[in-house]
Structure 1
Amino acid sequence: MRAWLFSGLLVLLVGCATPAPDSLYQQLGGQTGITRIVEDMLLRAAADARIKQHFVEVDIVRVRDKLVEQLCELSGGPCIYSGDSMEESHTGLHISRSDFNALVELLQAAMDQQGVSVRAQNQLLAHLAPMRGEIIER
């Protein structure tokens, strides 16, 4: 009886740790796809005259790593976001609505480049949208 119970619990735990094949995480390409999306977006941001000033004096490796963690967690992947809140991360950076919108455009372009479906893009953006108020300076 104990062996059966242990086996059942193990199956449940493994099932919970592995995202479903049709999950948003998988649609984004898993860890590799999310990393590519974030890196592409950051490269685009560094070259975009509208917002590149926001990325000059930051630890870009940390930004990349925390964004990957965050998108992984938000999309149902196995990651746990360990960074600061969006409000803490963006206070004093003077992020405007147009800055925010520009980064969203770059994120969408990066997802297009990786072949992410519009449906999956919209799902991810819906998860990110509630953070808007914590990022834009009022």
Structure 2
Amino acid sequence: MNIRACIRRAACASIALSALLSPAAWADDSLYKTFGEQPGLVRIIDDFYDLLLVDPRTKPYFEGAPIKRIKQKLAEQLCVLLDGPCVYTGRTMKRAHEGQNIDRAAFDALVEDLQTAMDKNGVPFRAQNKLLAKLAPMYRDVQDRE
């Protein structure tokens, strides 16, 4: 084997090893796929907002809100939480919800509406729980602290 072949093999081996060791190579997107990937998330979010906007417990929080933008950012956020191939470009939860006076009852209503939307879209109960477990700690960032 000549020196060039050896160098090429070493470079190829190094590239292959880097690819195997990168976090993206080991990411498990099975939960993202269970939710139907991007098209599934869009359907769930559309159904979710249909519910939020008529639910008397949550409707007041969305009066005058830019729903199209909120849906887009939520799709990004859920995609990231589900280990999908997305980047969240929105504000922090604390910043996005400051001054909204969100209490536990409103947050719980939102969770119920999300569960209904996931049920409607055939998301298995176990997968729903995995997402909800990732969302639950966010209550600290959206709650009214006054």
Taking structure 2 as the reference length, the TM-score comes to: 0.83
Partner of 1:106: 113
Partner of 1:16: 24
Quote the Cα distance in structure 1 between the aligned partners of 2:113 and 2:48. 5
Partner of 1:69: 76
Of 9, 13, 35, the residue aligned with 1:5 is: 13
Q: Does the C-alpha gap of structure 1 residues 136 and 53 become closer, same or farther in structure 2, counting only changes over 3 Å?
A: same
CA deviations on 1:55-77 (whole Å, 9 max, x unpaired) are 11111111000000000000100
Quote the Cα distance in structure 1 between the aligned partners of 2:57 and 2:124. 26
RMSD: 2.2
Partner of 1:39: 46
Asked if the contact 1:46–1:52 (Cα under 8 Å) also holds between the matched residues in 2, the reply is yes
Quote the Cα distance in structure 2 between the aligned partners of 1:97 and 1:33. 28
Q: Percent identity?
A: 45
- Equivalent residues, number: 137
Q: Does the C-alpha gap of structure 1 residues 135 and 50 become closer, same or farther in structure 2, counting only changes over 3 Å?
A: same
Asked if the contact 2:20–2:26 (Cα under 8 Å) also holds between the matched residues in 1, the reply is no
Q: 2:132 matched to 1:125?
A: yes
Is the radius of gyration larger for structure 1 or structure 2? 2
Q: Does the C-alpha gap of structure 1 residues 125 and 6 become closer, same or farther in structure 2, counting only changes over 3 Å?
A: same
Unaligned runs of 5+ in 1: none
Q: Does the C-alpha gap of structure 1 residues 133 and 20 become closer, same or farther in structure 2, counting only changes over 3 Å?
A: closer
Quote the Cα distance in structure 1 between the aligned partners of 2:23 and 2:33. 15
Unaligned runs of 5+ in 2: 1-8
Partner of 2:60: 53
Quote the Cα distance in structure 1 between the aligned partners of 2:74 and 2:24. 23
Taking structure 1 as the reference length, the TM-score comes to: 0.88
Once the 2 structures are TM-superposed, how far is the Cα of residue 95 of structure 1 from its aligned partner? 0.8
Asked if the contact 1:19–1:26 (Cα under 8 Å) also holds between the matched residues in 2, the reply is no
Q: Does the C-alpha gap of structure 1 residues 14 and 61 become closer, same or farther in structure 2, counting only changes over 3 Å?
A: farther
Q: Does the C-alpha gap of structure 1 residues 43 and 14 become closer, same or farther in structure 2, counting only changes over 3 Å?
A: farther
Q: Could you list the structure 1 runs, at least 4 aligned residues long, displaced by more than 3 angstroms after superposition.
A: 2-7, 9-15, 17-21
